Amino acid sequence: MNIYGIKREDLEQYFIDMNEKKFKALQVFEWLYLHNVDSFYKMTNIKKELQDKLNRDFSLDMIAIVKKQEDKLVKKYLFKLFDNNYVEAVLMQHDYGLSVCISSQVGCNMGCAFCESGRLKKVRDLGAYEMVMQIMLIERNIKKRISSVVIMGIGEPLDNYDNVLDFIKIINDPKGLAIGARHITLSTCGLIPKIKDLMEESLQINLAISLHAANSELRDKLMPVNKAYKLPSLIDTISEYIAKTHRRVTIEYVMLDSVNDKEEDANNLADLLKGMNVYVNLIPYNETNHFEFKRSSKEKIMKFYDILKKKGINVTIRKEFGSNIDAACGQLRSKEVKA
């Protein structure tokens, strides 16, 4: 079992079961995440017999960075996993600090019509340790600390619910990677039962919903998940989530030329979200060779933005990163696996 996928509370229980003090777990976490050691035998305040036991029971093996692309304010990393699968993560430099967008699955089964990640179907879930390692390896590469994390790369996080929750708890732990809950964002295409589960977790993380259409007919075409969890039910669930958690929800809306960017679409979206504690993030589409979708023009995006603003909707336009590299989520992996 890889140590980087173990929550501190579970490591405490591990030591308690051996009739050891649970504070040993705190010591191990400090060595792993504060001192960044790569061997249990470098944990000098832990006795030799415990070092031996840890070495027998846990692995410290790391996945590998096999490719890196760089552009202004952005770096994209391709990781090779132990089973020779690939995932990717993106490091972005904002004025408020360094943010990493990580993957949660190898491939994705959601099948969104415009998404490179979903073009290659899900192979398996990532373990919590494989998500933690994406951050740790990037921190080692740049020799700086990451200040915020977005679970918005390859995969649907709520389709890998338990591992993603463990990952969040490890990176949020003040003795783990110590990333504040309000600096962690989980993005989902709208798995309603899992959103309901998430609202019971008492987490202070940010939730983002990939909406991309303001009516069910269009969303059915763009996002097959809408056939299982219809738009009206999703909106009701978002309202329930806001009421339960007292947290604002982000609505993600990718701008596809002549598909969902008309004035009518903007008006429908404003009406759909009226009175809700949300803000809309308009996303210029990253085009790929595998899809015919094109990005909306700047003029259309600004017109869409203005309509939402005038109707009282909080709205931003996502800052673009990586226009000179394989910017679309899943694009770097798809090149590697040649699919």
3-state secondary structure the chain: CEHHHCCHHHHHHHHHHCCCCCHHHHHHHHHHHHCCCCCHHHCCCCCHHHHHHHHHHCECCCCEEEEEEEECCEEEEEEECCCCCEEEEEEEEECCEEEEEECCEECCCCCCCCCHHHHCCCCEECCHHHHHHHHHHHHHHHCCCCCEEEECCCCCHHHHHHHHHHHHHHHHCCCCCCCCHHHEEEEECCCHHHHHHHCCCCCCCEEEEECCCCCHHHHHHHCCHHHHCCHHHHHHHHHHHHHHHCCCEEEEEEEECCCCCCHHHHHHHHHHHCCCCEEEEEEECCCCCCCCCCECCHHHHHHHHHHHHHCCCEEEECCCCCCCCCCCCCHHHHHHHCC
Specify the range with the lowest mean pLDDT, choosing from 39-53, 60-74, 186-200, 323-337.
323-337
Supply the pLDDT for residue 142: 96
Question: Inter-axis angle of helices 263-273 and 298-310, to 10 degrees?
Answer: 30
Supply the pLDDT for residue 328: 53
Supply the pLDDT for residue 337: 55
Is 64-337 CATH 3.20.20.70? yes
- Per-residue pLDDT reduced to its tens digit, 221-249: 999 999 999 999 999 999 999 999 999 99
Structure tokens of 295? Answer: 């990005």
For residue 107, is pLDDT > 90?
yes
pLDDT band at 121 (very low <50, low <70, confident <90, very high): confident
The rounded percent of the chain whose pLDDT value lies above 90 is 87
Q: What is the CATH number of domain 3-57?
A: 1.10.150.530
Supply the pLDDT for residue 339: 46
Strand partners, 69: 76
pLDDT band at 287 (very low <50, low <70, confident <90, very high): confident
Contact between 242 and 279 under an 8 Å Cβ cutoff? The reply is: no
Contact between 154 and 105 under an 8 Å Cβ cutoff? The reply is: yes
pLDDT band at 292 (very low <50, low <70, confident <90, very high): confident
How remote is the C-alpha of 219 from its chain's centroid? 22
Average pLDDT score over residue span 106-120: 87
- Per-residue pLDDT reduced to its tens digit, 51-64: 999 999 999 999 99
Beta carbons within 8 Å of 46's beta carbon, 6+ residues apart = 24, 27, 28, 31, 40, 54
Average pLDDT score over residue span 268-290: 93
Q: Using CA atoms, how far apart are residues 17 and 31, in angstroms rounded to an integer? A: 21
For residue 5, is pLDDT > 50?
yes
Average pLDDT score over residue span 2-6: 98
Q: Using CA atoms, how far apart are residues 107 and 281, in angstroms rounded to an integer? A: 24
Which amino acids are annotated catalytic? 88, 329
For residue 333, is pLDDT > 60?
no
Residue span(s) of the chain under CATH 3.20.20.70 come to 64-337
pLDDT band at 329 (very low <50, low <70, confident <90, very high): low
**Is the backbone of residue 255 left (phi > 0), alpha (psi -120 to 50) or beta?**
beta
Which of these, 235, 216, 231, 215, lies nearest to 277 by C-alpha position? Answer: 235
Beta carbons within 8 Å of 311's beta carbon, 6+ residues apart = 267, 270, 271, 274
Contact between 253 and 280 under an 8 Å Cβ cutoff? The reply is: yes
For residue 136, is pLDDT > 70?
yes
Average pLDDT score over residue span 90-110: 94
Average pLDDT score over residue span 178-198: 98
Supply the pLDDT for residue 87: 97
- Per-residue pLDDT reduced to its tens digit, 15-29: 999 999 999 999 999
The vertex-171 CA angle with 244 and 4, nearest 5°, equals 130
Residue span(s) of the chain under CATH 1.10.150.530 come to 3-57
For residue 324, is pLDDT > 90?
no
Structure tokens of 78? Answer: 């391709």
The rounded percent of the chain whose pLDDT value lies above 70 is 94
For residue 331, is pLDDT > 60?
no
Mean pLDDT computed over every residue of the chain: 94
Average pLDDT score over residue span 301-313: 98
